[in-house]
Structure 1
Amino acid sequence: MSTRGPALFSAIGKKATDLLNRDYNTDQKINITTYTETGLALNSGLANNGGLSSGDIAAQYKYKNVALDVKADTQSNVSTMLTVTDILPSTKTIASIKLPDYKSGKLEVQYLHEHASFTTAVGLNESPAVDFSATIGTPAIAFGAEASFLTGSRVFSKYNAGVSFTQHDSTASVILADKGDSLRASYVHQLSRLNGGAVVGEVNRKFSTNENTLTVGGSYVVDPETVVKARLNNHGNLGALLQHQLTPKSSLTLSAAFDTKALERHPNFGLALSLKP
Protein backbone atom coordinates (compact mmCIF):
# COMPACT_ATOMS: atom_id res chain seq x y z
CA MET A 1 0.00 0.00 0.00
CA SER A 2 1.16 3.54 -0.67
CA THR A 3 2.57 5.48 2.29
CA ARG A 4 3.33 8.74 0.49
CA GLY A 5 0.23 10.48 1.79
CA PRO A 6 -1.37 10.96 5.19
CA ALA A 7 -1.80 7.96 7.48
CA LEU A 8 -5.18 6.60 8.53
CA PHE A 9 -7.19 8.51 11.15
CA SER A 10 -6.31 5.87 13.75
CA ALA A 11 -2.66 6.94 13.49
CA ILE A 12 -3.38 10.49 14.74
CA GLY A 13 -1.96 10.72 18.26
CA LYS A 14 -0.86 7.06 18.18
CA LYS A 15 2.83 7.81 18.73
CA ALA A 16 2.09 9.58 22.02
CA THR A 17 -0.39 6.90 23.10
CA ASP A 18 2.15 4.15 22.44
CA LEU A 19 4.90 5.94 24.32
CA LEU A 20 2.64 6.50 27.35
CA ASN A 21 0.88 3.11 27.41
CA ARG A 22 2.57 0.45 25.30
CA ASP A 23 4.30 -2.38 27.24
CA TYR A 24 3.08 -1.12 30.63
CA ASN A 25 1.27 -3.92 32.45
CA THR A 26 0.61 -5.33 35.92
CA ASP A 27 0.26 -8.95 34.81
CA GLN A 28 2.71 -11.80 34.46
CA LYS A 29 2.82 -12.77 30.80
CA ILE A 30 4.83 -15.09 28.60
CA ASN A 31 4.57 -15.38 24.83
CA ILE A 32 6.42 -17.94 22.73
CA THR A 33 6.49 -17.72 18.93
CA THR A 34 7.77 -20.36 16.52
CA TYR A 35 7.96 -20.47 12.72
CA THR A 36 7.68 -23.36 10.31
CA GLU A 37 9.41 -23.78 6.96
CA THR A 38 6.10 -23.17 5.19
CA GLY A 39 5.83 -19.65 6.63
CA LEU A 40 3.35 -20.50 9.39
CA ALA A 41 3.86 -18.56 12.64
CA LEU A 42 2.56 -20.11 15.88
CA ASN A 43 2.21 -18.09 19.09
CA SER A 44 1.18 -19.32 22.53
CA GLY A 45 0.57 -16.99 25.46
CA LEU A 46 -0.09 -17.39 29.16
CA ALA A 47 -1.03 -14.60 31.58
CA ASN A 48 -1.68 -14.36 35.31
CA ASN A 49 -3.57 -11.41 36.77
CA GLY A 50 -4.42 -11.40 40.47
CA GLY A 51 -4.39 -15.17 40.63
CA LEU A 52 -6.59 -15.54 37.54
CA SER A 53 -4.85 -17.36 34.72
CA SER A 54 -5.68 -17.11 31.04
CA GLY A 55 -4.06 -18.33 27.89
CA ASP A 56 -4.32 -18.26 24.13
CA ILE A 57 -2.81 -19.79 21.05
CA ALA A 58 -2.56 -18.03 17.70
CA ALA A 59 -1.45 -18.89 14.20
CA GLN A 60 -0.61 -16.64 11.26
CA TYR A 61 -0.02 -17.71 7.69
CA LYS A 62 1.18 -15.35 4.95
CA TYR A 63 1.27 -16.06 1.24
CA LYS A 64 2.12 -13.24 -1.15
CA ASN A 65 -0.47 -10.50 -0.43
CA VAL A 66 -2.72 -12.63 1.81
CA ALA A 67 -2.47 -13.11 5.58
CA LEU A 68 -4.68 -15.34 7.74
CA ASP A 69 -4.72 -14.94 11.53
CA VAL A 70 -6.52 -17.34 13.88
CA LYS A 71 -6.55 -17.01 17.68
CA ALA A 72 -8.23 -19.13 20.37
CA ASP A 73 -8.26 -18.42 24.11
CA THR A 74 -9.21 -20.19 27.32
CA GLN A 75 -12.61 -18.41 27.36
CA SER A 76 -13.57 -20.45 24.27
CA ASN A 77 -13.33 -17.45 21.96
CA VAL A 78 -11.97 -17.98 18.46
CA SER A 79 -10.97 -14.94 16.41
CA THR A 80 -10.27 -15.14 12.69
CA MET A 81 -8.97 -12.36 10.46
CA LEU A 82 -8.21 -12.49 6.74
CA THR A 83 -6.19 -9.62 5.26
CA VAL A 84 -5.67 -9.10 1.53
CA THR A 85 -3.44 -6.27 0.32
CA ASP A 86 -3.70 -4.57 -3.08
CA ILE A 87 -6.78 -6.31 -4.50
CA LEU A 88 -7.00 -2.88 -6.04
CA PRO A 89 -3.97 -0.55 -6.00
CA SER A 90 -3.29 1.04 -2.59
CA THR A 91 -6.03 -0.91 -0.80
CA LYS A 92 -6.20 -3.36 2.09
CA THR A 93 -9.25 -5.53 2.73
CA ILE A 94 -9.82 -7.11 6.16
CA ALA A 95 -12.52 -9.64 7.01
CA SER A 96 -12.87 -10.69 10.66
CA ILE A 97 -15.17 -12.61 13.00
CA LYS A 98 -15.02 -13.63 16.67
CA LEU A 99 -16.82 -16.83 17.59
CA PRO A 100 -19.12 -17.83 19.23
CA ASP A 101 -20.57 -14.36 18.53
CA TYR A 102 -21.69 -14.95 14.94
CA LYS A 103 -22.91 -11.35 14.69
CA SER A 104 -19.38 -9.98 15.24
CA GLY A 105 -18.35 -10.41 11.61
CA LYS A 106 -16.93 -7.30 9.98
CA LEU A 107 -15.60 -6.34 6.56
CA GLU A 108 -13.19 -3.40 6.35
CA VAL A 109 -11.56 -1.70 3.37
CA GLN A 110 -8.64 0.73 3.69
CA TYR A 111 -7.44 3.00 0.90
CA LEU A 112 -4.29 5.12 0.99
CA HIS A 113 -3.82 7.85 -1.61
CA GLU A 114 -1.10 10.42 -2.12
CA HIS A 115 -3.22 13.16 -0.53
CA ALA A 116 -5.93 11.25 1.37
CA SER A 117 -6.77 8.02 3.15
CA PHE A 118 -10.13 6.36 3.76
CA THR A 119 -11.50 3.41 5.71
CA THR A 120 -14.94 1.84 5.67
CA ALA A 121 -16.05 -1.05 7.88
CA VAL A 122 -19.44 -2.76 7.84
CA GLY A 123 -20.75 -5.27 10.34
CA LEU A 124 -21.98 -8.53 8.80
CA ASN A 125 -25.35 -8.80 10.54
CA GLU A 126 -28.98 -7.75 10.08
CA SER A 127 -28.57 -4.27 11.59
CA PRO A 128 -24.91 -3.50 11.05
CA ALA A 129 -22.85 -0.63 12.35
CA VAL A 130 -21.07 1.27 9.61
CA ASP A 131 -17.71 2.82 10.53
CA PHE A 132 -15.89 5.23 8.27
CA SER A 133 -12.96 7.60 8.53
CA ALA A 134 -11.01 9.92 6.26
CA THR A 135 -7.85 12.02 6.42
CA ILE A 136 -6.52 14.56 3.96
CA GLY A 137 -3.14 16.25 3.77
CA THR A 138 0.45 15.08 3.61
CA PRO A 139 2.76 13.01 5.83
CA ALA A 140 3.66 16.33 7.55
CA ILE A 141 0.15 17.65 8.26
CA ALA A 142 -3.14 15.82 8.18
CA PHE A 143 -6.78 16.57 9.04
CA GLY A 144 -9.20 13.74 9.69
CA ALA A 145 -12.54 12.59 11.03
CA GLU A 146 -14.26 9.32 11.89
CA ALA A 147 -17.81 8.26 12.65
CA SER A 148 -19.89 5.18 13.42
CA PHE A 149 -23.52 4.91 12.28
CA LEU A 150 -25.94 2.35 13.72
CA THR A 151 -28.28 1.37 10.90
CA GLY A 152 -30.75 -0.31 13.28
CA SER A 153 -31.45 2.80 15.37
CA ARG A 154 -30.30 5.27 12.69
CA VAL A 155 -28.08 7.25 15.04
CA PHE A 156 -24.40 8.10 15.15
CA SER A 157 -22.78 6.30 18.08
CA LYS A 158 -19.44 8.03 17.53
CA TYR A 159 -17.92 10.96 15.71
CA ASN A 160 -14.43 12.35 16.25
CA ALA A 161 -12.11 14.77 14.48
CA GLY A 162 -8.40 15.44 14.68
CA VAL A 163 -5.31 17.05 13.23
CA SER A 164 -1.65 16.04 13.36
CA PHE A 165 1.63 17.81 12.61
CA THR A 166 4.79 15.79 11.99
CA GLN A 167 8.42 16.85 11.60
CA HIS A 168 11.54 14.72 11.49
CA ASP A 169 11.96 14.82 15.30
CA SER A 170 8.53 15.75 16.68
CA THR A 171 4.83 15.00 16.36
CA ALA A 172 1.85 16.98 17.67
CA SER A 173 -1.83 16.11 17.51
CA VAL A 174 -5.22 17.35 18.71
CA ILE A 175 -8.31 15.12 18.76
CA LEU A 176 -11.90 16.14 19.56
CA ALA A 177 -13.60 12.91 20.68
CA ASP A 178 -16.65 11.48 22.47
CA LYS A 179 -19.05 13.43 20.28
CA GLY A 180 -17.29 16.66 21.18
CA ASP A 181 -17.22 16.01 24.94
CA SER A 182 -13.46 15.48 25.26
CA LEU A 183 -10.31 17.02 23.84
CA ARG A 184 -6.93 15.32 23.75
CA ALA A 185 -3.74 17.13 22.77
CA SER A 186 -0.32 15.48 22.70
CA TYR A 187 3.26 16.25 21.74
CA VAL A 188 6.22 13.88 21.24
CA HIS A 189 9.80 15.01 20.74
CA GLN A 190 12.76 12.78 19.96
CA LEU A 191 15.93 13.76 21.83
CA SER A 192 19.42 12.75 20.77
CA ARG A 193 20.61 13.32 24.36
CA LEU A 194 18.44 10.33 25.33
CA ASN A 195 20.30 8.13 22.84
CA GLY A 196 17.26 8.04 20.59
CA GLY A 197 14.68 8.26 23.38
CA ALA A 198 11.80 10.72 23.53
CA VAL A 199 9.70 12.93 25.81
CA VAL A 200 5.93 13.15 25.59
CA GLY A 201 3.15 15.26 27.06
CA GLU A 202 -0.59 14.69 26.80
CA VAL A 203 -3.56 16.71 28.05
CA ASN A 204 -7.07 15.28 28.27
CA ARG A 205 -10.03 17.59 28.88
CA LYS A 206 -13.49 16.19 29.72
CA PHE A 207 -15.99 19.00 29.22
CA SER A 208 -19.03 17.35 30.85
CA THR A 209 -17.18 16.74 34.14
CA ASN A 210 -14.79 19.68 33.91
CA GLU A 211 -11.92 17.24 34.51
CA ASN A 212 -8.37 17.64 33.22
CA THR A 213 -5.67 14.99 33.11
CA LEU A 214 -2.08 15.90 32.31
CA THR A 215 0.36 13.06 31.65
CA VAL A 216 4.06 13.40 30.96
CA GLY A 217 6.52 10.66 30.16
CA GLY A 218 9.64 9.67 28.34
CA SER A 219 11.93 6.90 27.22
CA TYR A 220 15.71 6.57 27.49
CA VAL A 221 17.85 4.18 25.47
CA VAL A 222 20.41 2.88 27.95
CA ASP A 223 22.16 0.76 25.31
CA PRO A 224 21.14 -0.91 22.03
CA GLU A 225 19.38 -3.69 23.98
CA THR A 226 17.87 -1.79 26.92
CA VAL A 227 15.19 0.90 27.17
CA VAL A 228 13.65 2.48 30.26
CA LYS A 229 10.36 4.39 30.25
CA ALA A 230 8.40 6.39 32.83
CA ARG A 231 5.12 8.30 33.01
CA LEU A 232 3.33 10.44 35.60
CA ASN A 233 -0.04 12.18 35.60
CA ASN A 234 -1.50 14.94 37.77
CA HIS A 235 -3.54 12.38 39.73
CA GLY A 236 -0.33 10.93 41.15
CA ASN A 237 -0.20 7.76 39.07
CA LEU A 238 3.42 6.87 38.34
CA GLY A 239 4.53 4.08 36.03
CA ALA A 240 7.96 2.82 35.04
CA LEU A 241 9.34 -0.04 32.99
CA LEU A 242 12.58 -1.58 31.81
CA GLN A 243 12.72 -3.55 28.58
CA HIS A 244 15.74 -5.62 27.61
CA GLN A 245 16.26 -7.35 24.27
CA LEU A 246 17.47 -10.87 25.02
CA THR A 247 17.92 -11.56 21.30
CA PRO A 248 17.05 -9.41 18.26
CA LYS A 249 13.42 -10.64 18.47
CA SER A 250 13.01 -11.70 22.12
CA SER A 251 12.51 -9.34 25.06
CA LEU A 252 11.96 -9.19 28.80
CA THR A 253 9.87 -6.32 30.21
CA LEU A 254 9.61 -5.39 33.90
CA SER A 255 7.08 -2.73 34.85
CA ALA A 256 5.66 -1.13 37.99
CA ALA A 257 2.80 1.21 38.89
CA PHE A 258 2.62 3.45 41.98
CA ASP A 259 0.06 5.79 43.47
CA THR A 260 2.19 8.64 44.79
CA LYS A 261 -0.78 10.03 46.73
CA ALA A 262 -1.28 6.76 48.61
CA LEU A 263 2.20 5.44 49.31
CA GLU A 264 0.86 3.08 51.98
CA ARG A 265 -0.57 0.94 49.18
CA HIS A 266 1.55 -1.76 47.65
CA PRO A 267 2.81 -1.01 44.15
CA ASN A 268 1.75 -3.24 41.28
CA PHE A 269 4.41 -5.09 39.34
CA GLY A 270 4.29 -6.74 35.94
CA LEU A 271 6.51 -9.06 33.97
CA ALA A 272 6.30 -9.90 30.28
CA LEU A 273 8.57 -12.37 28.46
CA SER A 274 8.40 -12.61 24.66
CA LEU A 275 10.44 -15.36 23.00
CA LYS A 276 10.92 -15.52 19.22
CA PRO A 277 13.52 -17.47 17.24
Structure 2
Amino acid sequence: MRKRPGLYDDIGKKARDLLHRNYAHQPPNHYHDQCIDWNLDFSCQFGEIIPGLKAAIRLIIPDSTRAELRYVHDYIGINAGLGLKANTSKEFDPIVYFSGVVGTTLFSMGTALGFDMSTRALNKFNIGFTFNTDSLLTSLSLNDKFDSLEAAMHYTFNHRTTIAAEVKHNVSEEWTTVTIGAQHAVFPFTLVKARANTDGRVGALVRQHVCEKLYIAISGEVDIKTVKSKTPKLGFSMALSP
Protein backbone atom coordinates (compact mmCIF):
# COMPACT_ATOMS: atom_id res chain seq x y z
CA MET A 1 0.00 0.00 0.00
CA ARG A 2 1.31 3.47 -0.84
CA LYS A 3 2.37 5.74 2.05
CA ARG A 4 1.15 9.01 0.55
CA PRO A 5 -2.12 10.38 2.00
CA GLY A 6 -3.01 12.57 -0.99
CA LEU A 7 -4.58 16.03 -0.57
CA TYR A 8 -7.33 17.31 1.72
CA ASP A 9 -9.95 17.14 -1.04
CA ASP A 10 -9.32 13.38 -1.26
CA ILE A 11 -10.87 12.89 2.21
CA GLY A 12 -14.32 11.42 1.51
CA LYS A 13 -14.00 12.13 -2.22
CA LYS A 14 -15.05 8.70 -3.52
CA ALA A 15 -18.23 8.73 -1.42
CA ARG A 16 -19.05 12.30 -2.56
CA ASP A 17 -18.51 11.38 -6.20
CA LEU A 18 -20.79 8.35 -5.99
CA LEU A 19 -23.56 10.21 -4.14
CA HIS A 20 -23.44 13.64 -5.81
CA ARG A 21 -21.30 13.89 -8.93
CA ASN A 22 -23.06 14.33 -12.30
CA TYR A 23 -26.59 14.12 -10.90
CA ALA A 24 -29.32 16.45 -12.16
CA HIS A 25 -29.22 18.85 -9.18
CA GLN A 26 -27.44 22.16 -9.72
CA PRO A 27 -24.76 23.79 -7.55
CA PRO A 28 -25.72 27.05 -5.76
CA ASN A 29 -24.27 29.19 -8.56
CA HIS A 30 -25.18 28.39 -12.15
CA TYR A 31 -26.42 30.04 -15.31
CA HIS A 32 -30.11 29.94 -16.17
CA ASP A 33 -31.31 30.24 -19.77
CA GLN A 34 -35.06 29.70 -20.25
CA CYS A 35 -35.62 26.13 -18.96
CA ILE A 36 -31.93 25.14 -18.83
CA ASP A 37 -29.52 25.51 -15.91
CA TRP A 38 -25.85 24.90 -16.59
CA ASN A 39 -22.33 25.37 -15.27
CA LEU A 40 -18.79 24.53 -16.36
CA ASP A 41 -16.05 22.95 -14.26
CA PHE A 42 -12.62 23.01 -15.90
CA SER A 43 -9.34 21.99 -14.28
CA CYS A 44 -5.83 21.62 -15.61
CA GLN A 45 -2.80 20.18 -13.84
CA PHE A 46 0.72 20.77 -15.08
CA GLY A 47 3.71 18.46 -14.82
CA GLU A 48 6.03 18.31 -11.82
CA ILE A 49 8.06 21.46 -11.22
CA ILE A 50 10.23 19.54 -8.77
CA PRO A 51 9.60 16.00 -7.45
CA GLY A 52 6.23 16.03 -5.70
CA LEU A 53 5.31 19.65 -6.60
CA LYS A 54 2.69 20.41 -9.28
CA ALA A 55 0.77 23.51 -10.39
CA ALA A 56 -2.95 23.47 -11.21
CA ILE A 57 -5.71 25.81 -12.41
CA ARG A 58 -9.42 25.32 -11.77
CA LEU A 59 -12.25 27.35 -13.30
CA ILE A 60 -15.89 26.92 -12.21
CA ILE A 61 -18.25 29.10 -14.25
CA PRO A 62 -19.94 31.19 -12.90
CA ASP A 63 -18.78 30.46 -9.34
CA SER A 64 -15.03 30.75 -8.90
CA THR A 65 -11.52 30.34 -10.22
CA ARG A 66 -8.23 29.50 -8.56
CA ALA A 67 -4.57 28.81 -9.25
CA GLU A 68 -2.72 26.58 -6.83
CA LEU A 69 0.39 24.59 -6.03
CA ARG A 70 0.14 20.98 -4.85
CA TYR A 71 2.88 19.14 -3.02
CA VAL A 72 2.47 15.43 -2.26
CA HIS A 73 5.22 13.39 -0.67
CA ASP A 74 5.57 10.55 1.83
CA TYR A 75 3.15 11.13 4.74
CA ILE A 76 2.22 14.69 3.71
CA GLY A 77 0.09 16.56 1.15
CA ILE A 78 -0.09 20.36 0.89
CA ASN A 79 -2.27 22.55 -1.32
CA ALA A 80 -2.03 26.37 -1.44
CA GLY A 81 -3.33 28.96 -3.88
CA LEU A 82 -5.11 32.17 -4.79
CA GLY A 83 -8.58 32.51 -6.28
CA LEU A 84 -11.74 34.52 -6.84
CA LYS A 85 -15.04 33.52 -5.25
CA ALA A 86 -18.50 34.85 -6.17
CA ASN A 87 -20.40 36.57 -3.34
CA THR A 88 -24.11 37.31 -2.84
CA SER A 89 -23.75 40.61 -4.76
CA LYS A 90 -22.52 38.67 -7.84
CA GLU A 91 -19.09 40.20 -7.39
CA PHE A 92 -15.83 38.32 -6.86
CA ASP A 93 -13.80 38.37 -3.67
CA PRO A 94 -10.08 37.42 -3.63
CA ILE A 95 -9.51 34.30 -1.52
CA VAL A 96 -6.32 32.69 -0.22
CA TYR A 97 -6.57 28.90 0.12
CA PHE A 98 -4.46 26.48 2.14
CA SER A 99 -4.90 22.84 3.09
CA GLY A 100 -2.65 20.18 4.51
CA VAL A 101 -2.84 16.45 5.24
CA VAL A 102 -0.53 14.17 7.22
CA GLY A 103 -0.67 10.40 7.50
CA THR A 104 -0.72 7.40 5.20
CA THR A 105 -3.26 5.80 2.89
CA LEU A 106 -4.47 3.84 5.96
CA PHE A 107 -5.12 6.84 8.24
CA SER A 108 -4.72 10.55 7.67
CA MET A 109 -5.94 13.86 9.08
CA GLY A 110 -5.86 17.39 7.76
CA THR A 111 -7.31 20.87 7.65
CA ALA A 112 -8.48 23.34 4.99
CA LEU A 113 -8.49 27.13 5.41
CA GLY A 114 -9.83 29.99 3.29
CA PHE A 115 -9.07 33.65 3.96
CA ASP A 116 -11.17 36.41 2.35
CA MET A 117 -8.74 39.25 1.53
CA SER A 118 -11.52 41.81 0.94
CA THR A 119 -13.04 41.40 4.42
CA ARG A 120 -9.85 40.13 6.09
CA ALA A 121 -11.84 37.30 7.61
CA LEU A 122 -11.43 33.54 7.78
CA ASN A 123 -14.36 32.28 5.68
CA LYS A 124 -13.41 28.60 5.66
CA PHE A 125 -12.10 26.32 8.39
CA ASN A 126 -12.52 22.56 7.99
CA ILE A 127 -10.94 19.57 9.71
CA GLY A 128 -11.10 16.03 8.33
CA PHE A 129 -10.06 12.50 9.22
CA THR A 130 -10.06 9.34 7.13
CA PHE A 131 -9.48 5.63 7.76
CA ASN A 132 -9.14 3.37 4.75
CA THR A 133 -8.68 -0.28 3.88
CA ASP A 134 -8.52 -1.92 0.46
CA SER A 135 -12.35 -2.12 0.23
CA LEU A 136 -13.68 0.31 2.88
CA LEU A 137 -13.09 4.08 2.91
CA THR A 138 -14.42 6.11 5.85
CA SER A 139 -14.17 9.81 6.66
CA LEU A 140 -15.29 12.31 9.27
CA SER A 141 -15.21 16.08 8.68
CA LEU A 142 -16.01 19.19 10.70
CA ASN A 143 -16.90 21.93 8.20
CA ASP A 144 -18.10 25.54 8.05
CA LYS A 145 -16.10 26.58 11.12
CA PHE A 146 -17.39 23.56 13.05
CA ASP A 147 -21.03 24.37 12.24
CA SER A 148 -21.58 21.13 10.32
CA LEU A 149 -20.53 17.53 10.75
CA GLU A 150 -20.17 15.09 7.87
CA ALA A 151 -19.49 11.34 8.06
CA ALA A 152 -19.16 9.14 4.99
CA MET A 153 -18.32 5.60 3.96
CA HIS A 154 -17.54 3.98 0.61
CA TYR A 155 -17.46 0.19 0.29
CA THR A 156 -16.41 -1.81 -2.77
CA PHE A 157 -17.86 -5.31 -3.08
CA ASN A 158 -15.91 -6.10 -6.23
CA HIS A 159 -14.58 -4.26 -9.25
CA ARG A 160 -18.16 -3.72 -10.52
CA THR A 161 -20.35 -2.86 -7.49
CA THR A 162 -19.91 -0.13 -4.86
CA ILE A 163 -22.13 1.39 -2.17
CA ALA A 164 -21.79 4.64 -0.23
CA ALA A 165 -23.52 6.46 2.62
CA GLU A 166 -23.27 9.97 4.01
CA VAL A 167 -24.65 11.71 7.11
CA LYS A 168 -24.66 15.51 7.32
CA HIS A 169 -25.69 17.43 10.45
CA ASN A 170 -25.91 21.21 10.72
CA VAL A 171 -25.55 22.50 14.29
CA SER A 172 -26.97 26.02 14.00
CA GLU A 173 -29.95 25.12 11.80
CA GLU A 174 -30.51 21.76 13.51
CA TRP A 175 -31.06 19.56 10.47
CA THR A 176 -29.69 16.16 9.52
CA THR A 177 -29.64 14.54 6.08
CA VAL A 178 -28.77 10.92 5.35
CA THR A 179 -27.89 9.94 1.78
CA ILE A 180 -27.31 6.41 0.51
CA GLY A 181 -26.39 5.24 -2.96
CA ALA A 182 -24.89 2.50 -5.10
CA GLN A 183 -23.23 2.12 -8.47
CA HIS A 184 -22.75 -0.89 -10.74
CA ALA A 185 -20.78 -1.37 -13.92
CA VAL A 186 -23.31 -3.07 -16.20
CA PHE A 187 -20.79 -3.32 -19.03
CA PRO A 188 -17.10 -2.36 -19.13
CA PHE A 189 -17.98 1.07 -20.53
CA THR A 190 -21.41 1.65 -18.91
CA LEU A 191 -21.96 2.70 -15.30
CA VAL A 192 -25.35 2.95 -13.56
CA LYS A 193 -25.82 4.56 -10.17
CA ALA A 194 -28.66 5.74 -7.94
CA ARG A 195 -29.07 7.59 -4.68
CA ALA A 196 -31.79 8.67 -2.22
CA ASN A 197 -31.82 10.87 0.88
CA THR A 198 -34.03 11.58 3.83
CA ASP A 199 -35.12 14.91 2.32
CA GLY A 200 -37.17 12.92 -0.19
CA ARG A 201 -34.90 13.28 -3.23
CA VAL A 202 -34.28 10.24 -5.41
CA GLY A 203 -31.90 10.28 -8.36
CA ALA A 204 -30.47 7.92 -10.97
CA LEU A 205 -27.73 8.21 -13.56
CA VAL A 206 -26.29 6.34 -16.53
CA ARG A 207 -22.73 7.18 -17.55
CA GLN A 208 -21.24 6.00 -20.84
CA HIS A 209 -17.56 5.89 -21.77
CA VAL A 210 -17.75 7.08 -25.38
CA CYS A 211 -14.08 7.02 -26.31
CA GLU A 212 -10.67 7.01 -24.66
CA LYS A 213 -11.09 10.31 -22.78
CA LEU A 214 -14.76 11.25 -23.18
CA TYR A 215 -17.59 10.41 -20.77
CA ILE A 216 -21.23 11.43 -21.02
CA ALA A 217 -23.93 11.02 -18.38
CA ILE A 218 -27.71 11.31 -18.41
CA SER A 219 -29.40 11.70 -15.04
CA GLY A 220 -32.79 12.30 -13.47
CA GLU A 221 -33.97 13.43 -10.07
CA VAL A 222 -37.35 13.71 -8.38
CA ASP A 223 -38.41 15.22 -5.07
CA ILE A 224 -40.99 12.82 -3.64
CA LYS A 225 -42.37 15.49 -1.29
CA THR A 226 -43.20 17.87 -4.18
CA VAL A 227 -43.76 15.41 -7.02
CA LYS A 228 -47.30 16.73 -7.62
CA SER A 229 -46.28 20.40 -7.83
CA LYS A 230 -42.85 20.19 -9.45
CA THR A 231 -41.66 18.27 -12.49
CA PRO A 232 -38.69 15.89 -12.20
CA LYS A 233 -35.27 17.22 -13.18
CA LEU A 234 -33.28 15.84 -16.08
CA GLY A 235 -29.59 16.46 -16.55
CA PHE A 236 -26.84 15.90 -19.10
CA SER A 237 -23.12 16.15 -18.38
CA MET A 238 -19.94 15.60 -20.35
CA ALA A 239 -16.43 15.10 -19.01
CA LEU A 240 -13.00 14.94 -20.59
CA SER A 241 -10.33 13.17 -18.56
CA PRO A 242 -6.58 13.21 -19.11
Fold shared, TM-score > 0.5 on shorter chain: yes
SS at match of 1:235: coil
The answer on whether the counterparts of 1:5 and 1:138 sit within 8 Å (CA) in structure 2 is: yes
Please say if residues 147 and 160 of structure 1, whose CA atoms lie closer than 8 Å, have aligned partners that are also in contact.
yes
The alpha carbon displacement at 1:120 in A equals 1.7
Closer, same or farther in 2 for the Cα pair 1:275/1:13, shift >3 Å? closer
Which of 197, 215, 224 is residue 233 of structure 1 equivalent to?
197
Residue 15 of structure 2: aligned partner: 16
Letter in 1 for 2:194: A
* Amino acid aligned to 2:77: S
Shift of 1:182: 0.1
Coordinate RMSD, CA, aligned: 3.4
| Structure 2: gaps (5+ residues) | 85-92
Alignment map for 1:29-108 (pairs within 5 Å): 50-52=34-36, 83-94=45-56, 107-108=67-68
Give how far 1:89 is off: 1.9
Unpaired runs of at least 5, structure 1:
28-46, 59-70, 72-80
Residue aligning to 2:160: 196
Secondary structure of the residue aligned to 1:92 is: strand
- Residue 122 of structure 1: how far off its partner (Å): 3.4
Cα separation, partners in 2 of 1:82 and 1:210, compared to 1, 3 Å = closer
Say which is worse superposed, 175-184 or 81-90, in terms of deviation. 81-90
Greater Cα offset, 249-258 or 232-241: 249-258
Give the number of aligned pairs: 225
CA contact (8 A) 1:26 1:255 kept: no
1:161 has 2:127 as partner: yes
Shift of residue 54, structure 1, vs aligned partner: 7.1
Structure 2 residue 236 is the aligned partner of structure 1 residue 271: yes
| SS of residue matched to 2:141 | strand
Q: What is the Cα deviation at residue 266 of structure 1?
A: 2.5
Partner of 2:209: 245
- Between the aligned partners of 1:114 and 1:221, the Cα distance in structure 2 is 33
Letter matched to residue 51 of structure 1: C
- 1:254 Cα offset (Å): 2.4
Q: Shift in Å at residue 249 of structure 1?
A: 4.2
Question: Is 2:39–2:60's contact at 8 Å kept on the other side of the alignment?
Answer: no
CA positional deviation for 1:20 = 0.7
